[in-house]
Amino acid sequence: MSRVAIVTGGTRGIGEAISLALKELGYTVAANYAGNEEKAKAFTEKTGIATFKWDVGDHQACLDGVAKVTEALGPVDIVVNNAGITRDGVLAKMSFDDWNEVMRINLGGCFNMAKATFGGMRERGWGRIVNIGSINGQAGQYGQVNYAAAKSGIHGFTKALAQEGARSGITVNAIAPGYIDTDMVAAVPPAVLEKIVAKIPVGRLGQAHEIARGVAFLCSEDGGFVTGSTLSINGGQHMY
């Protein structure tokens, strides 16, 4: 029986590419999504990958969601914490809700999903957790104190949990994408984005599959000696 992987936010953007890459690796994939029913339905029709709806920022919903995936597909050995949102704005204009939602979903989601799966991975002596951080968690970004803090938190979370999982065959790593051609980046005002792209040495936005290949490696058997690391995939924008 093939191993089961959950990809949060796995039906769109970078998450969609990750779901496909893990399926290609031979894993049984469960793609979690939060709200876009239409896109999730189209995704399953196109890929044959099962989708499961819950809010990763809701602790109980994660426990229940993982229980449903386990019942449908089997015990979960791989989690990719990809789900994330932006609520950009300068501090002066940022509401507490904009701060809290980004922390709750982007960083809280990693905690919730790890709580729901880590014990089982430890019992079975094998696991892979990949957390999607960001260049903006490494370098900061004007207008993103919430997002940068949450993503930076993900990098710390990754290094701490890696230490807890190492002796049980569980690796925990992060990928720090740069600016990737997705709906999230398309929402950046064009004039601002133009200036950002001008600072990318490779001279273009990244593609979702370029992140997915890195995730696939970290989730493979060959990735077993890589833990607590952050792989930066950003076209050279921040060499870290």
Half-sphere exposure of 10 (CA within 13 A, CB side): 29
Binding of residue 143 to ligand CAA (CB under 6 A) = yes
* 35 vs 189 by CB, closer to ligand CAA: 189
Enter the DSSP assignment of 107: I
Residue linked to tokens 């957390």 = 131
Q: From CA 229, how far away is CA 239, in angstroms rounded?
A: 15
Q: From CA 116, how far away is CA 38, in angstroms rounded?
A: 27
Q: From CA 68, how far away is CA 207, in angstroms rounded?
A: 32
Q: Which stretch binds ligand CAA (CB under 6 A): 33-41, 55-63, 131-139, 158-166?
A: 131-139
Binding of residue 144 to ligand CAA (CB under 6 A) = yes
Task: Write the DSSP string, 134-184.
Answer: -HHHHH--TT-HHHHHHHHHHHHHHHHHHHHHGGGTEEEEEEEE-SBSSHH
The yes-or-no answer on residue 27 being catalytic is: no
Query: 59-73 and 108-124 are packed helices; what angle lies between their axes, rounded to 10 degrees?
Result: 40
Q: How far is the CB of 34 from ligand CAA (least distance, A)?
A: 17
Q: How far is the CB of 84 from ligand CAA (least distance, A)?
A: 8
Binding of residue 185 to ligand CAA (CB under 6 A) = yes
Q: Which stretch binds ligand CAA (CB under 6 A): 18-26, 33-41, 85-93, 109-117?
A: 85-93
Q: Which stretch binds ligand CAA (CB under 6 A): 15-23, 37-45, 82-90, 107-115?
A: 82-90
Binding of residue 63 to ligand CAA (CB under 6 A) = no
The contact set with ligand CAA (CB under 6 A) reads 86, 88-90, 93, 134-136, 141-144, 147, 177, 179, 184-185, 188-189, 192
Q: Which residues are known catalytic residues?
A: 147
